[in-house]
Structure 1
Amino acid sequence: MGATLAALLRELEPDGRLLMLERLGEPALESSAAVNNAGTGHAANCELNYTPERPGGGLDISKALRINAAFEQSLQFWSALRERGRLTDSTFIRPVPHLSLVFGEEGRTFLRRRHQLMVEHPAFAAMDYSEDAGELAGWMPLVMEGRREQDCLAATRVERGTDVDFGRLTRQLLAGLTAPHGPLELACGVEVTGLQRRGGLWQVAWRSRAEEPGPEQGVVETPFVFLGAGGGTLPLLQRAGVAEARVYGGFPVSGEWLVCHNTDLVERHRAKVYGRAEVGAPPMSMPHLDTRWIDGRRSLLFGPFAGFSTRFLRQGSLLDWPRSLRLTNLLPTVQAGLGNLSLVRYLIGQLSQSQEQRLEALRRFMPGARADDWRHAVGGQRVQIIRQEGGRGVLRLGTEVVATADGSLAALLGASPGASTAVSIMLEVLKRCWADRMVSSRWREVLLGLVPSHGQDLNTDAVLLDRVRRHSDATLGLSREPVPPGAAS
C-alpha cells in the first residue's frame, strides 16, 4: 500500500520528497510477502463471500462489481508504470483461471443463481458454468479424480484470472522510486516510536533496529503521514493520538496452509479453486486449492486454516493485542466478540485441528490427496477491524481508510481484498487528503494517463471496459494480443 501511494505521488508531484520507514531489514517481508497472503488477484471472479445472500432472498452482487472495477484500476496503473519503465517487467502477475466450487444441490442452486446474475454484466460476461463431470475434470483434474459418479458438484470459471506476487511487485515499485535521482528515501530496520502534531507538521520519532552503524534514533518533520503497516497500523494510529482512532479496535487472526511438495501435482493443477466459507467464519477462511508463484517458483497450496496469536504482525510482539486495548475500545471489543459467537467457535475449532483433520478438509476438494505430499505452513497475520458504531462494537470484515479531518494523516486498516485494490484505495486516500488537487486539471490529466477509467464507471461502459482490459492484458503479458495504438487513451 505504501509503495503504491508513493508511486502515485511520484507521478502527480515529481518534485516531491518521500520518506518510507520500514521496520524490517528489507521491504515486503510482512503482509505483502507472497508466503503471507493468498496471492489471488481479487476481482470477485471466484470469491463467493463477495456475493452474499440477502436476508429476504436473492443475491447481492454490488460488492463484486465494485471489487472487479477496483482491480481493473490496479491493472491499468501497473500497465502504465510498465510502459513508462517504472516496472522492469511483469513477472509479478501471471494468468491463472479463477473457479468457484460448490457441493450438493443447495450449492448448485446458489451458484447457478449467482452465475445468471453476474453474466448479465460486462465484467463477468465470460464466466462459464458447468455441472458436467467431464468438463469439470478438464477445468480441475485433481479435484475430480477419485470422485463418485453420484457426487453433486458445480463450478464456474473465469479464464481471465490472475495470481499476483505482491512482494515482488512492491520491490519493483520501490526499486524505481529509490533509483538515482528518485524521489523516495527508504530506511529499513527503523521503528516508529512516536507521532506528534506540532506547529502544522507531524513529528515522527524513530529508532534503529538494525545492527549496521549509523544513527540510533531521530525525528523527522513532515506535513503528511501515511500509516500502511498491515496489522501494525492500529498501534501507530493510536500513538498519533488522533480522535479518529478512538472508535477502532482490532482482532488478530493468522492464516495457515497445507503446501504441496509433489511437483507432478503442482504441474497438473492450473487454477485457483475457491469454495464457500463455513458459517460464522471470516472471509479470509474461504477454502481454496491454489496455483501460486512464490519467489518465481510454481506452488500448490490449500487453505487457509485459521490460527490465533496476540501478535498483530508475524514478526511482531505477543503484547501487540493487549497493548492496543483502551478504555475507548475495550467494551466494543467485548461486544463484537459476543455478537460474533459463531466466529469465536470457529476459531476455537480451528485451533484444535490436527494435521489429519486439515487433510480431511483438503480431501473434500481433492479426494486423492495423500498425507506424504503435503506439509503444514504458517502464513501471515491479519487484524480484523472492530469499530464502535451506534454505541456498540461491530466487527468489520474488509479494508478501511482512516483520515484525519485536516487530511494530514491517513491510515489503512483491515484485510481482504487488500492489495488487489491498492490503487483504488490509495486514490481514496488522495481524495480525502488532497481534495483540492484531485479536482485540479493537472492532477486529473495525470491520473487519466495512469488509470484511464478514473472517474468513470466500468460497470456501465462496456466499450471502455473492453478497451482497458485489452490494453492491460497485452502490456502485462496476460494475453498474446498486441497493444493497439492509442488503446489506453
Structure 2
Amino acid sequence: MSATLGSLLKELVPDWEITVFERLAKPGEESSNEWNNAGTGHSSLCELNYTVEKPDGTVDISKAIKVNEEYQLSRQFWSYLVNKNLIRNPRDFIRPLPHMSLVQGEDNVNFLRKRFEALSRNPLFQGMEFSADPEKLREWIPLIMKNRSGNEPIAATKIDSGTDVNFGALTRMLFDHLQKQNVTIKFKQNVDDIKRTRDGLWELKIRNLDSGVTEHHRAKFVFIGGGGGSLHLLQKSGIPEGKGIGGFPVSGIFMVCQNPEVVAQHHAKVYGKAPVGAPPMSVPHLDKRFIYDKEMLFFGPFAGFSPKFLKYGSMLDLFTSLKLHNIGTMIASGINNISLVKYLIKELMLSKEQRMEALREFVPNAKSEDWELVVAGQRVQVVKDTPAGKGTLQFGTEVISAADGSIAALLGASPGASTAVSVMLDVIQKCFPQHIKAWEPKIKEMIPSYGVSLQENPQLIQEIHASTARTLGLNN
C-alpha cells in the first residue's frame, strides 16, 4: 500500500519530497511478503464470501462487482508502470491462473449455480463456466477429483482470466522504482512517536534500530502504512478520528507442497466455502503459486490467534493497543465474538495430521510427507462501534484520516493488496482534494477507467482486459 501511494504521488507531483521509514531490513517483509499471503489477484472470480444469497433466494453480487472493478484499477496502474519502463518483467510478479469455486452438497451446488447465473449476466465476469459433471471436473482439477469417493453432488465454476500475484516481488519492484525517483527509503527505522507541531506540521521521532540514534523529521503529510502496526501509530498521532478504534489480530498458517509430481497435477486457485463460524479470511483454498520461478501448492489458511499485531511484532501488541477510549469497544467485541475466539483457539490447537485431514477434503490422496506448515502473516481486523452494534468486527480495509487530510492510516487487511491502487486513490482524494482537479488528466492517463463504472461500459471492459493482459503477459 505504501509503495503504491508513493508511486502514484511521484507520477502526479514528481518534485514532492518523499521519505519512507521501514522497521525491517527490506521492503515487503510483513503482510505483502509472498510467503505471508495467498497471492490471489482478488477480483471476485472465485471467492464465495463476496456473493451472498438473500432471503428470497437471489444472489447479491454487488460486493463482487465492487472488488472486481477495484482490481481492474490495479491492473491498469501496473500496466502503465510497465509500459513506461518504470518497472520491468511483469512475469516476476503476476501470472495468469484460472480461478475456480468448488462446493459439495445439493444446497451448495444450487447456490453456486445461481451465483454463476448472476455473475455471467455481468460483463465483468464474461468467460466463466459452470459444471456439475464429475468428468468435466476431472479435466479441470485432476488432483482434487482423483480417487474421490461418495455420491454427494459436487460442482465448480472456472474462469481463465484469474491471476496469481507475488505481492512481495511487486512491493520490492515499486520501492526500487521509487529509489530511482529520488525517494529516500530508510530501513531498520522505528517510528517511536508522532506529534502535531504548533505550525501544523507533523513531527516524527525516528529511532535507528541498529545504532539506537534518534532523529526528528517534519512533514506536511504522513501516511501510516505499517500493516498491523498502523493502529499504534494512529493512536500516537492523537487525532480524534482514531479514537474508539481497536484491533483484533488473526494469524494464519498454510500447508505448502513443493513435490513436483504433486504440483504438476494442479493448475488453478480453487476456493471453497468457509466453515460455519469461521472468519471470511479462513475460506479454504488450494492454490498453485509461483515463487522465485518455482511452482508450488498452498492450502489453507488455517486461522490462529496471537496477540502480535505484526509477524515480527511483540507479544504485548494487543495489550498496549488498549486505551481508555477503546477499552469498552474491545470488551464488547470480545463478548460479541466469543464463538470466533473459540474457533481460533480450536484452529491453533490442530496438529499437522488434523490439518492434513482438512486438506484431504480437497485432495483425497494427500500425503503428509509432501506437505509442510508455513506460518503466514498477521491480519489485524478493525474493531469499532457501528450502527450494527458496539465493538463490531470489520473484515475489510479501512482508511482513517484527519479532517484536514494531513495524516492517514491504513487499517484492516482484506481484500488487501489486490485493491491497493483503489484504496490509495481514495487516500489521495481524501487528503489532497484541492489538487484532484489538476491531477485528474494524469490519473486518467495512468488508469483509463478512473471515475467510470466499468460494468456499465462493456466495451471499455474489453479494451482494458485486452490491453492489460497484453502488457502484463497474461494471455495464455
TM-score under structure 2 length normalisation: 0.97
User: In structure 1, what is the Cα distance between the partners aligned to 2:354 and 2:384?
Assistant: 34
SS at match of 1:321: helix
Partner of 2:71: 71
Partner of 1:305: 302
Q: In structure 2, which of residues 395, 403, 406 is the aligned counterpart of residue 405 of structure 1?
A: 403
Matched residue count: 473
- Any idea what the Cα deviations from partners look like across 1:363-384, whole Å, max 9, x if unmatched? 1101111111111121111101
- Do 1:277 and 1:287's aligned partners in 2 also have CA atoms closer than 8 Å? yes
- Any idea what the Cα deviations from partners look like across 1:336-361, whole Å, max 9, x if unmatched? 22222332221122122111111111
- The CA deviation at 1:58 is 2.6
Alignment of 1:133-148 (within 5 A): 133-148=134-149
Partner of 2:456: 460
Letter in 2 for 1:87: I
User: In structure 2, what is the Cα distance between the partners aligned to 1:465 and 1:261?
Assistant: 37
- Do 2:38 and 2:298's aligned partners in 1 also have CA atoms closer than 8 Å? no
- Do 2:259 and 2:296's aligned partners in 1 also have CA atoms closer than 8 Å? no
- Any idea what the Cα deviations from partners look like across 1:259-288, whole Å, max 9, x if unmatched? 113111112211000000112211110000
User: In structure 2, what is the Cα distance between the partners aligned to 1:345 and 1:124?
Assistant: 37
User: In structure 2, what is the Cα distance between the partners aligned to 1:100 and 1:210?
Assistant: 47
Deviates more, 1:260-269 or 1:166-175: 260-269
- Any idea what the Cα deviations from partners look like across 1:137-169, whole Å, max 9, x if unmatched? 111111000112624210001100000001100
User: In structure 2, what is the Cα distance between the partners aligned to 1:100 and 1:328?
Assistant: 42
User: In structure 2, what is the Cα distance between the partners aligned to 1:167 and 1:249?
Assistant: 27
- The CA deviation at 1:407 is 0.1
SS at match of 1:315: coil
Q: In structure 2, which of residues 429, 432, 442 is the aligned counterpart of residue 431 of structure 1?
A: 429
SS at match of 2:440: helix
SS at match of 1:446: helix
Partner of 2:413: 415
Q: In structure 1, which of residues 372, 383, 387 is the aligned counterpart of residue 384 of structure 2?
A: 387
Structure 1, unmatched stretches of 5+, are 481-489
- The CA deviation at 1:333 is 1.3
Letter in 2 for 1:173: L
Alignment of 1:5-404 (within 5 A): 5-55=5-55, 57-90=57-90, 91-148=92-149, 150-179=151-180, 182-198=181-197, 199-210=199-210, 216-390=213-387, 392-404=390-402
- Do 1:16 and 1:183's aligned partners in 2 also have CA atoms closer than 8 Å? no
Letter in 2 for 1:135: K
Partner of 1:485: none
- The CA deviation at 1:303 is 0.4
- Do 2:305 and 2:345's aligned partners in 1 also have CA atoms closer than 8 Å? no
- Do 1:280 and 1:340's aligned partners in 2 also have CA atoms closer than 8 Å? no
1:469 to 2:469 alignment: no
Deviates more, 1:64-73 or 1:274-283: 274-283
- Any idea what the Cα deviations from partners look like across 1:10-51, whole Å, max 9, x if unmatched? 100011110000000111111110000110000000000011
Deviates more, 1:55-64 or 1:257-266: 55-64
Letter in 2 for 1:425: V
CA 56–395 in structure 1, closer or farther in 2 if over 3 Å, else same: farther
Q: In structure 2, which of residues 445, 453, 456 is the aligned counterpart of residue 449 of structure 1?
A: 445
User: In structure 2, what is the Cα distance between the partners aligned to 1:328 and 1:26?
Assistant: 34
- Do 1:34 and 1:295's aligned partners in 2 also have CA atoms closer than 8 Å? no
User: In structure 2, what is the Cα distance between the partners aligned to 1:444 and 1:183?
Assistant: 24
SS at match of 2:103: strand
User: In structure 1, what is the Cα distance between the partners aligned to 2:202 and 2:265?
Assistant: 53
- Do 1:53 and 1:59's aligned partners in 2 also have CA atoms closer than 8 Å? yes
- Any idea what the Cα deviations from partners look like across 1:408-451, whole Å, max 9, x if unmatched? 001111011010000000000001001121122xx111001100
- The CA deviation at 1:295 is 2.9
